[in-house]
Amino acid sequence: MELAKFFNFLYKHIIVIIIIPIVTVAITYFLVRNLPNTFVAKSQISTGLVDRSNDAVVTEQTAPQQQEIDQTFSNMIQLIQSNNVLDMVAYKFILHDLKDPAPFRKPSRFLSGLSAADKRKAISGFESRYRNRQPLTLVTPEEELLNGILGSMNYDSESLRGKLQAIRVGQSDFITIEFSSEDAKLSGFGANAVASEFITYYAAKVKDADRKSVTFLSNLLQEKQRNLNDKMNQLKSYKIQNGVLNLPEQAKILYQRMIEVQSNRERTDKEIISYAGTINDINSKFTPRERKYLEATTSRVNSDILAYREQLQALTDVFIREGFDNNYKDSMDSLRSILNGKVEESVEENIFNPLAAKQDLVSQKINMETQLDIAKHSVASLQKEHRSLTSQFSRLVPFEAIIQSYERDIDIASQEYLDILDKYNLSNIQSNFSVKLKQSLFALPGAAIPSKKMLLVIISGIVGFAFVVFVLFILFFFDTTVTQPKELANASKFPVLGYIEKLHTSTTDVHSLWNWNKGGFKDQLRSIRFEISSELDSEPLLALPGAELTVANPQLLQQSYPKNTNLLSITSFSKGEGKTFLSISLAYAFALTNKNILLIDGNFSNPTLTRSVNAEFYFEDFLLDNIFETDFKRRGISVLGNKGNDASLLEITSQERLRDKISQLKSSFDYIMVEIPSLEYLDKAKEWFLFTDKVAGVFQSNRKYGNKETVANDYLHALNDHKFIGWIINKVEITKPEKKKGWFKKKKHESYS
């Protein structure tokens, strides 16, 4: 139903829906009919980024990752569209048009207005900036003139960027450059110019970056080399100052000598014990007399033996100090042999002495005594040498810590130097094997692309239509206008007793309208009469024809009310909704059923009913006993107006008297209908609700149902005993169906209700 309502809403605005797209199409057509044709030319650049196998062999580098390649392509495309490239292309364009007899574009009004001197000055300025690859900074008046020329010819960077498109072809190594313009030759020239200028700019940019990188690494390499040399010189100076040549080797030699000295000392101690024990054993084999003789003989050992013994001891000291050098050992062995020979000569001299039988023991004793003396002397030398070696070894410990610190600094500096050297060499190689851009496809004069004029016209019509429908949908979605009974019932949650269609006639006479053969006013009024009588009477009237569209509450129809509930108040949300007309019409409809009807104008602020029927008697006079029931009671319809003094009902008389007077009227008339103030004046309407049996409301179709109506409706829901019986919607637009042929044609006597 909502969709059908929306389509009905669109149908009501069909003129707008048709006119706006037509206007849009017409405007678009006049705007695009003079657009020139567009020619597109394509050039292509090979980047060398994807396949770099030759560079990888030379530089010993692996191929770049896909993400790195994509990033590089993205940067290249941005550079193609940058001012650094497009400014150079703009210079080429304008220089061509200024110098060539067949320019791409006709001179603009600004360019035509320049003098010959200004044009020569402009040519010189453009050539100088193109040669030096300088952009326009708009700082000087000359640059402003040049920029004005470019802008007037649409050769400025912004205009060129709008006609330029650079895309990478899939995942390939190529970038396609498309340039579009109104001239085929201009498109081809532009595509080639963009490609060549980008290659020139990018090559210069890469070369400059490589040069800066090599220069930086060269300076850093020299600094690292100086640092390494300084560290090495510091170590060298320290070793010279402290007499350290090869500390680990020196420490190793000293430690070995210490071990050897300790080992010789232990061996010498053993020899001393052995020699002493052997000498004691030999002495024990001699008698005291023989020992005296032997001692006397020993004391007379010649000076040669003593001299050789001293030499042997001195040579032993040297042998120990020199680290047990084998050269000294040979000399010692020779000197020992000589000493042994002298001892044997001494023994032979005493061969005829009393100890001749024990001469071997004597010889052994003398030799052992000699060896014992040498061993005892060697112990002192070994101890002295061991102390000297220990002192030297201890002296090397602080040297070792300092030298290790120097060597560690040298290792770090050396590693840094080698790393920078590798990078420097690699950068040098890469600078000679940078990515080589080349134009793989040269653009030819552009081919005309299909015209988009008709497409733009069609799109404008579609967009215009969609925009109108969208706006109408927004208006429909937020529209709270009530036009049909069901909408009012859904909004108010009250039954709709019926509706009165909008009458396309100037007369307001109910009798004439009742007998009017156009529309369904009579049937609609009968239907409302039936619903109201069902609410007021315990025995409702018989159903009358023409009530098939009536909206009623079945539960209320099933209820039975006392016979005396015959006073109906008629109100509305606001004034001007048709309370007076409906009150008179309902009174007329009930009068046709042979009922005595009393019509009271209860709206003291705006007595429209009184003025409409030219009432002779007033309700205030009846309440104050100025008139009586016999004065105004008529057969059919009786009317009590009011004086319109903006009085309140309870201000006229007391509540008890009002109740008595109204009871008197209810007993005299079949139905009493009171037009009361609208719910805008709820304080005055409430007074009538105290004496009213039932309340009905009039709602004018095609008006908003807003917050004010919602608040008043909530009050009606709060009334007790189902006092409010429902709404009657007034001035409903009835759409007349189109005439159709054959059996679809509408019968003459059929109502549009």
pLDDT at position 696: 92
Look at 33 and 529; give whichever has higher pLDDT: 529
Q: 299 pLDDT exceeds 60?
A: no
**Within a domain: 56:** yes
Tell me the pLDDT of the chain averaged across its residues. Answer: 77
Question: Do residue 28 and residue 124 come from a single domain?
Answer: yes
The DSSP call for residue 744 is G
pLDDT at position 343: 63
Q: In the structure, what pLDDT confidence band is assigned to residue 286 with cuts at 50, 70 and 90?
A: low
Distance of CA 718 to the CA centre of its chain: 54
**Within a domain: 236:** no
What would the pLDDT profile of 227-276 be if each residue is shown by its tens digit?
Answer: 888 878 877 777 777 766 565 666 666 667 777 767 776 777 777 777 77
Q: Of the given ranges (65-69, 142-146, 302-306), which has the lowest mean pLDDT?
A: 302-306
- Please state the domain count of the chain: 4
Question: Do residue 684 and residue 593 come from a single domain?
Answer: yes
Rounded-to-integer distance, Cα 546 and Cα 106, Å: 80
Q: Are 109 and 64 in contact (CB under 8 A)?
A: no
Look at 67 and 330; give whichever has higher pLDDT: 67
Rounded-to-integer distance, Cα 472 and Cα 145, Å: 52
Q: In the structure, what pLDDT confidence band is assigned to residue 740 with cuts at 50, 70 and 90?
A: very low
DSSP notation for 551-620 = ---HHHHH----TT--EEEEEESSTTSSHHHHHHHHHHHHHTTT--EEEEE--SS--HHHHHHT-SSBHH
Q: Tell me what percent of the residues of the chain surpass a pLDDT of 70.
A: 72
Question: Do residue 586 and residue 456 come from a single domain?
Answer: no
Look at 353 and 42; give whichever has higher pLDDT: 42
Sequence-separated (6 or more) residues with CB below 8 Å from residue 144: 138
**Within a domain: 86:** yes
Average pLDDT over residues 166-194: 86
Q: To which residue do tokens 């030379």 refer?
A: 58
Closest alpha carbon to 568 in 578, 583, 553, 580: 583
In the chain, the amino acid numbered 722 is H
Q: 554 pLDDT exceeds 60?
A: no
Question: Do residue 71 and residue 175 come from a single domain?
Answer: yes
The DSSP call for residue 540 is P
Q: Which residues partner with 568 through β-bridges?
A: 673, 694
pLDDT at position 545: 39
What would the pLDDT profile of 576-603 be if each residue is shown by its tens digit?
Answer: 888 888 889 899 989 998 889 999 998 8
* Full residue range of the structural domain in which residue 318 is found: 247-431
**Within a domain: 753:** no
In the chain, the amino acid numbered 396 is L
Each as own residue / partner, the long-range contacts of residues 76-82 (CB below 8 Å, 24 or more positions apart, any chain) are 76/47, 76/175, 76/198, 76/202, 77/166, 77/167, 77/168, 77/175, 79/198, 79/201, 79/202, 79/205, 80/164, 80/166, 80/175, 80/177, 80/194, 80/198, 81/161, 81/164, 81/166
Question: Do residue 636 and residue 668 come from a single domain?
Answer: yes
Question: Do residue 27 and residue 76 come from a single domain?
Answer: yes
Q: To which residue do tokens 């009590």 refer?
A: 640
Instruction: Please provide residue 146's backbone torsions phi and psi, each rounded to the nearest 5 degrees.
Output: -65, -40
Rounded-to-integer distance, Cα 708 and Cα 719, Å: 18
Rounded-to-integer distance, Cα 283 and Cα 298, Å: 13
Pairing of strands 597-601, 671-675: parallel
Average pLDDT over residues 29-57: 72
**Within a domain: 744:** no
Q: 433 pLDDT exceeds 70?
A: no
Average pLDDT over residues 504-530: 80
- Give Rg (Cα) of the chain: 65
Closest alpha carbon to 496 in 732, 671, 751, 670: 732
Q: Of the given ranges (184-188, 253-257, 564-568), which has the lowest mean pLDDT?
A: 253-257
pLDDT at position 46: 85
Sequence-separated (6 or more) residues with CB below 8 Å from residue 612: 508, 580, 584
**Within a domain: 609:** yes
In the chain, the amino acid numbered 252 is K
Question: Do residue 17 and residue 33 come from a single domain?
Answer: no
The DSSP call for residue 287 is -
| Residue 639, both tokens | 């009317």
Q: To which residue do tokens 């390499």 refer?
A: 221
Question: Do residue 16 and residue 39 come from a single domain?
Answer: no
Q: 179 pLDDT exceeds 60?
A: yes
Rounded-to-integer distance, Cα 658 and Cα 649, Å: 9
| Residue 64, both tokens | 């770049």
Q: 753 pLDDT exceeds 70?
A: no
DSSP notation for 449-501 = PPP-HHHHHHHHHHHHHHHHHHHHHHHHHT--EE-SHHHHHHHHSS-EEEEEE
Closest alpha carbon to 25 in 374, 591, 457: 457
**Within a domain: 747:** no
Number of helices and strands (H, E) in the chain?
A: 28, 14
Q: In the structure, what pLDDT confidence band is assigned to residue 9 with cuts at 50, 70 and 90?
A: confident
| Residue 202, both tokens | 């990018």
Rounded-to-integer distance, Cα 194 and Cα 165, Å: 10
pLDDT at position 563: 46
Q: In the structure, what pLDDT confidence band is assigned to residue 348 with cuts at 50, 70 and 90?
A: low
pLDDT at position 399: 65
Q: Which of 431, 463, 494 is the last residue of a domain?
A: 431
DSSP reduced 3-state for 77: helix
Question: Do residue 101 and residue 147 come from a single domain?
Answer: yes
Is 0.75 surpassed by the pTM of this model?
A: no
List b or e across 360-372, with b for residues whose CB sees 16 or more CB atoms inside 10 angstroms.
ebbbbbbbbbbbb
Q: In the structure, what pLDDT confidence band is assigned to residue 386 with cuts at 50, 70 and 90?
A: low
Rounded-to-integer distance, Cα 697 and Cα 728, Å: 6
Rounded-to-integer distance, Cα 265 and Cα 242, Å: 31
Rounded-to-integer distance, Cα 189 and Cα 444, Å: 8
**Within a domain: 752:** no
Sequence-separated (6 or more) residues with CB below 8 Å from residue 416: 224, 227, 228
CATH number at residue 713: 3.40.50.300
Question: Do residue 550 and residue 648 come from a single domain?
Answer: yes
Q: In the structure, what pLDDT confidence band is assigned to residue 344 with cuts at 50, 70 and 90?
A: low
Sequence-separated (6 or more) residues with CB below 8 Å from residue 149: 94, 110, 111, 114, 122
Q: In the structure, what pLDDT confidence band is assigned to residue 330 with cuts at 50, 70 and 90?
A: low
pLDDT at position 287: 63
pLDDT at position 698: 92
Distance of CA 225 to the CA centre of its chain: 48
Q: What angle do CA 575, 677, 672 make, to 5 degrees?
A: 120
Q: 327 pLDDT exceeds 80?
A: no
Question: Do residue 620 and residue 669 come from a single domain?
Answer: yes
Question: Do residue 703 and residue 692 come from a single domain?
Answer: yes
Q: 493 pLDDT exceeds 50?
A: yes
pLDDT at position 34: 64
Q: Are 729 and 603 in contact (CB under 8 A)?
A: no
Q: Are 85 and 166 in contact (CB under 8 A)?
A: no
Q: In the structure, what pLDDT confidence band is assigned to residue 733 with cuts at 50, 70 and 90?
A: confident
Q: 534 pLDDT exceeds 80?
A: yes
Q: Of the given ranges (32-36, 151-155, 308-312, 741-745), which has the lowest mean pLDDT?
A: 741-745
Q: Which of 398, 431, 464 is the last residue of a domain?
A: 431
